[in-house]
Structure 1
Amino acid sequence: MTSAVTPDGAADFPQTFGALLRESARRHPDKAAVVGYRGGARSENRVALSYAGLDKAADRLANALVREGYAKTADRPGRWLAILSPNDIDYAAVHFGAARAGCPLAHVSVRATAAGRAEMLAGVGAELLFVHADLADEARALRAGAATLGRIVVIGGAAGPDSLDALTAGTPDGAPPVEVLPDDPAAVTFSSGSTGAPKGVLVSHRNRTLSSCLGAGAFELADDDVLGCTTPLFHVAGLFMWLQIGIRRGLTVAMLEKWAPDLFADAIGRDGVTAAFLVPSQVTALLDDPVSARRLRTGEGGLRHLNISGAPMPSGLLERALDAWPGLEIVEHYGQSESCPLAYRPAAFARSKPLSAGRPCVEMAMLGRDGRPLPQGEAGEVASRGAHTLLGYIGDGIGAGEGLADLQAGDGWLRTGDIGRIDDDGFLHLIDRSKDVIVSGGENIFPAEVERALYLHPAVRECAVFGVPDDRWGEVPAAHVVANGGDTPEEAALIDFVAGHIPRYKRPRFVKFVDALPRTAIGKIQKNRIRAEYWKGRERAI
């Protein structure tokens, strides 16, 4: 069992999102806080907010929400708001402005289907949706079927009566008259439940200010770093593990609306990006693009620091990166939507501990089957406890199936679903997952959702979806299918059929037609037996 780096009872970090920004704005008022570009991924139309400017923008929005009746009052909690947007400087203003108004904010994925977005909005009962101008028409279509959604505000530099500027017109810059408490609900990000449906992870201000402060202290960032934000802000990593860490440290955060190796290289040259958060598949994409890869580091300049998470980084890929970019610091961290950073591997240990997820930065234990901590060195389910863990999940209809109670193990421990061990040097090693989730390029894909799409095809009698290793994405979905009588469908046609019913990145990359699926004595399909054949000879099965 390990101890936390920052004691949960300490009050030496900002306790609310608004306070976190306010502290940095006082220290660095004229420094650029967030920068971005509008008009397309390759636009030169640069927009920016200084720390003082972002602080004022957050206050103006919070005061507008007070005026319009959305903010928290002495008699009721703040009303639910939501945001649907790619990375943009307005996203930061909405995040901190809603927080100062005491309004919990739901971060809706731009990659979700229209039905998925509608379910997310309905799950929290969102009454106001901030939407990027490029998605405004889609948002208006969503509003038609949303019972609670009464207003849409367009961000991203939009003009007109529905714009952010129109909402905040005439409101003061000063602190809003709202008492926001550390344990108030602050945000929901969406992962996936065991059924593949969206799961709303609800966190408090204290949950994620602590997490961001832990990361700010642990991730080996320099005081003059410029952070490249390639991860979407609707994702817990982009929002709390990069943007909010940058704000805590008083650094400039450069927003990338879209990811591509050459766009990332552009940001390094154009905005002076020196540190970035990437998932392993993005590192592979960079290494496979020699022109962009050469632009990452130029002599003593360019990219200095990479933070890797979202999926374990294969040791071979780590070696390729270290060889391709001599002098680049590579820190890897392990976390989840429910708990944010749990462990990190310092850059100095990249080669000596390549298969480790790092040293725990919170109180952690490996639990046995009885839910009790095991001695150091023994493998068990990774669990943590403390003020960094989520408040709960949102909505009975969101993530139906596994609930928070299923993750609680007593004595405050929260299960992760991952199996690991702590070595003699105090480093965490992840061995396997206790769940079927497929982590592909940092995205969670649940087999049940893919299987439901397969079963819509009349030629599919039985199927099993599972993850197979992939050098670029870490792992990708694959399927074994037992066909109905008659002609077996073409593999490519069946894959395209599935891609027409779920987001394309979740489709199986290959389908193998088999006569039967292995089953237990009680008839349950043994996916572990199917999956094991594809992972033979690998360093780990995760």
Structure 2
Amino acid sequence: MARRMAVVAGLLAARAQEQPEEPAFIGGADGRTIAWPALAAYAERLRELAAARRLPPGARIGLVVADPLAFAAAYLAGLSAGLTVVPVDPRLPTLDDFLIQLRADVVVTDAPLSSPVAGLENWVAERAAPVPVGAAPTGARPSAGAALRPAVLLTTSGTTGEPKGVPLSEAQLLHAARRVAGHHRFGPGQRGYSALPLFHVNAQVMGLLAALVSGASLVLDRRFEPDAYWSRVAQWSPTWLNTVPAILGPLAAQPPPPEATLARLRFARSASAPLPVATQDAFTAHTGVAVLNTYGMTEAAGQITANPFDISARRAGSVGLPVGVELAVAGPDGRPAPPGSQGMVVLRGRQVTDRYLELTGYGAEASRPARDAHGWLPTGDLGFRDEDGFVYLAGRADDVINRGGEKLHPQEVEHVLLGHPAVASAAVVAAPHERLGQVPVAFVMLRPHRAEAGLVDELDRLCAQRLPRHKCPAAITVTAELPTSPTGKVLRRALRADAAALAGGPVAGGGR
């Protein structure tokens, strides 16, 4: 099988020639840099290594790399070599099982594994190139029976159910990255700052690939550190911030940055999870930084919609307009819903995947269609469009709570709870009820130095004032933390067992 000539390889070579002295990526915590020529050389060495180890085109390399610069180099090099890059959360407790499910042939780490994964090649991502540890395994490679050989194989977040494999081609990834770079006006001289996990599509496309296609640079941190955030911004002078609501909320509670820190900053981009208007307003009022709210998903190679670049044209509560993808809101009959009418958000376009992979890890690998006969992919998100086409999301279809025949969306209840000054974050899930079928149960986290005494009663009254009775939580409990994905999405499935226990016993909260 001939190895495909990756477009990424040509882009790396072009950047190395056009911007030989400029850093491509910078380590926010330690100041290490990697320039475009070094990235191009790294990619060439990985291509040579793949050929020497007889890896076929599309062989799967699992990136289990916590160091952001090492990840960036290995990710772009893997694409450049025509391999299938499989980014993996390095904190997974069952790493072996996950790599087996994804049929990885090679595991790349930034430190030698204490116990190498049996049957896989093990490489260590050194600064100049990956270095194999031990001899290559004999016999058939795990990906020998792969149903698909994409450029990148990602998994959905699994916030409401089991994750699925999402294959994305190089063309889809670069199409999305170019739309992102164009919409946000990236280019040489522009610099982003991102503390988002690099194994997630947002950080890969919005960050690494958007920098590659535009010639911008990117400051990378391996984790969000509230106390150090603004000092890093002051040190590296980015022109934009890549954030999620779980970052914007805590930053609104930090001391505001000095004006000099914000001198070059154009916007903070929010994605990956719903952004409550209260969180957006609090962040901007506290820091003076405008937020550009967006919407994306793994199946669309990241960004789907974004608010306009012009601040005056942005709409509070909206995730903006489609960018490089066709979007519709389908009513109950499957036809496009009129403006203002809620339905299922569906997508189609070049960057939208057309297959899912079943992550079983056993037997022949299976895939299934992701789109319908007309090319539309149902997102699972409910929402509507206004007369001008702006998109507003109501929540996930499988999160809808049916309380005695009256339906409600958790997001609208959460927004009310977040309106209380003591509440830092909130999540509402369904709990089973003998008579009503389901009732909403709320979990809230407090802002620092806020008292819990009397809060549940205050939240009860707030909900009673602003919501119809059937939407008021049957129980409200204060919790030290909410289970979240690495990008800050609440894992509702992890809360449902707790919700059932709360609703089944003595509970606080109105609307019972």
What TM-score comes out, normalization by structure 2 length? 0.72
What's the counterpart of residue 18 of structure 1? 9
Identify the residue that residue 395 of structure 2 maps to in structure 1. 432
**Equivalent-residue separation in structure 2 for 1:392 and 1:302 (angstroms):** 41
Q: Give 1:197 shift.
A: 3.3
Instruction: Report the equivalent of 1:409.
Output: 372
Task: Tell me: CA distance 1:512–1:330, structure 2 relative to 1, closer, same or farther (3 Å).
Answer: same
Report the CA distance shift for 1:533/1:50 in structure 2 as closer, same or farther (over 3 A).
farther
Q: Distance in 1 between matches of 2:99 and 2:391?
A: 37
Letter in 2 for 1:314: P
Residue 297 of structure 2 corresponds to which residue in structure 1? 336
Aligned match of 1:276: 241
On the 8 A contact 2:354/2:371 being kept in 1, the answer is: no
1:360 aligned to 298, 319, 322, which one?
Answer: 322
Q: CA deviation at 1:351?
A: 8.1
Counterpart in 2 of 1:443?
none
For each residue in 1:478-510, what CA deviation from the matched residue of structure 2 results, as whole angstroms up to 9, or x when unmatched?
A: 68589xxxxxxxx9xxx99x99xxx99855496
Q: How many Å apart are 1:228 and its aligned residue? A: 0.9
In 2, the alpha carbon distance for the partners of 1:65 and 1:533 equals 62
What is the number of residues matched between the two proteins? 421
- 8 Å CA contact 2:427–2:490 kept in 1: the answer is no
Deviation at 1:229, TM superposition (A): 2.0
Aligned-residue offset at 1:203? 0.6
SS at match of 2:86: strand
In structure 2, C-alpha distance between the alignment counterparts of 1:221 and 1:372, rounded to whole Å = 37
Residues 190, 201 of structure 1: 8 Å contact kept:
yes
1:266 Cα deviation from its structure 2 partner: 2.9
Cα 1:513–1:120 change in 2 (3 A) is closer
- Distance in 1 (alpha carbons) for counterparts of 2:206 and 2:383: 22
Q: Please state how far the C-alpha of 1:222 moved relative to its aligned partner.
A: 5.9
Residues 56 and 206 of structure 1, relative CA distance in 2, 3 Å threshold: same
Give the match for residue 54 of structure 1. 39
In the other structure, the counterpart of 1:287 is: 252
Cα distance in 2, alignment partners of residues 391 and 119 from structure 1: 26
Q: Which residue of 2 aligns with 1:345?
A: 307
In structure 2, the CA distance between the partners of 1:190 and 1:254, relative to structure 1 (3 Å rule), is same
Q: How far apart are 1:194 and its partner, in Å?
A: 7.9
How high is the sequence identity, in percent, across the aligned residues? 23
Q: Does 1:154 align with 2:124?
A: yes
Q: Deviations over 1:70-93 (max 9, x none)?
A: 142xxxxx3111101224212122
CA distance in 2, matches of 1:380, 1:197: 23
2:196 paired with 1:216: no
Task: Please list the CA deviations of residues 145-191 of structure 1 after superposition, one character each: whole Å capped at 9, or x if unmatched.
Answer: xxx42x2112265xxxxx945459xxxxxxxxxxxxxx961011222
Question: CA contact under 8 A between 1:81 and 1:105: conserved in structure 2?
Answer: yes
Q: Does 1:69 align with 2:54?
A: yes
Mapping 1:184-333, distance limit 5 Å: 185-193=150-158, 196-221=161-186, 223-290=188-255, 293-295=256-258, 297-298=259-260, 301=263, 303-326=265-288, 328-333=289-294
Counterpart check, 1:476 vs 2:427: yes
What is the TM-score of this pair, normalised by structure 1? 0.68
What does the per-residue CA deviation read over 1:287-313, in whole Å, with 9 as the maximum and x for residues that have no partner? 1111xx325x42762533211111222
Superimposed CA distance per residue, residues 202-228 of structure 1 (whole angstroms, 9 cap, x where no aligned partner)? 111111110111111112446422211
Q: Please list the CA deviations of residues 441-488 of structure 1 after superposition, one character each: whole Å capped at 9, or x if unmatched.
A: xxxxxxxxxxxxxxxxxxxxxxxxx88737477543768589xxxxxx
Shift of 1:284: 1.0
Unaligned runs of 5+ in 2: 134-147, 402-409, 434-474
User: How far apart are the structure 2 equivalents of 1:90 and 1:277?
Assistant: 19
SS at match of 1:338: helix
Q: Which whole-Å CA distance do the structure 2 matches of 1:514 and 1:264 have between them?
A: 37
Partner SS, residue 48 of structure 2? helix
8 A contact 1:261–1:286 mirrored in 2: yes
CA pair 156-234 structure 1, distance change in 2 beyond 3 A:
farther
| Structure 1 residues 202 and 475: alpha-carbon distance in aligned structure 2, compared to 1, 3 A threshold | farther
Maintained 8 Å contact 1:87/1:232: no
More displaced 10-residue stretch of structure 1: 473-482 or 20-29: 473-482
Q: Which residue of 2 aligns with 1:143?
A: 117
Q: Is the 8 A contact 1:332 1:346 kept in 2?
A: no
- What is the rounded CA distance, in whole Å, between the counterparts of 1:515 and 1:417 in structure 2? 26
Question: Which residue matches 1:385?
Answer: 348
User: What's the CA shift for 1:102?
Assistant: 1.4
Q: What CA distance in whole angstroms lies between the structure 2 residues aligned with 1:378 and 1:407? A: 25
Matched residue SS, 1:122: helix
> What is the 5 A alignment of 1:434-513?
434-436=397-399, 469=414, 471=418, 475-476=426-427, 480=431, 508=495, 513=501
Amino acid at match of 1:319: D
The counterpart of 1:422, out of the listed 375, 385, 392, is 385
Measure the CA separation in 2 of the matches of 1:191 and 1:124. Answer: 13
CA distance in 2 between counterparts of 1:86 and 1:311 reads 22
Structure 1 residue 344: deviation in Å? 0.3
Q: Is the 8 A contact 1:15 1:209 kept in 2?
A: no
RMSD (Å), alpha carbons: 3.8
* Residue identity opposite 1:394 in structure 2: L
Instruction: Please say if residues 269 and 302 of structure 1, whose CA atoms lie closer than 8 Å, have aligned partners that are also in contact.
Output: no
Task: Using the TM superposition, give the Cα deviation of residue 515 of structure 1 relative to its aligned residue in structure 2, in angstroms.
Answer: 6.9
Contact persistence 1:246–1:253 (CA under 8 A): yes
The separation in 2 between residues aligned to 1:298 and 1:311, in whole angstroms, is 30
**3-state SS of paired residue (1:198):** coil
Deviation >6 Å, runs of 4+? none
Paired position in structure 2 for 1:123: 101
- Amino acid paired to 2:100: A
Counterparts of 2:429 and 2:305 in 1: how far apart (Å)?
A: 30
2:356 touches 2:367 (CA, 8 Å); kept in 1?
yes
Partner of 1:102: 82
**342-351 or 300-309: bigger deviation:** 342-351
How far is 1:118 from its partner? 2.9
| C-alpha distance in 1 between matches for 2:489 and 2:347 | 34
Using CA pairs below 8 Å that are at least 6 residues apart, which structure has the higher relative contact order? 1
Q: Distance in 2 between matches of 1:93 and 1:353?
A: 37
Unaligned runs of 5+ in 1: 1-13, 73-77, 158-162, 169-182, 439-465, 483-490, 518-529, 537-542
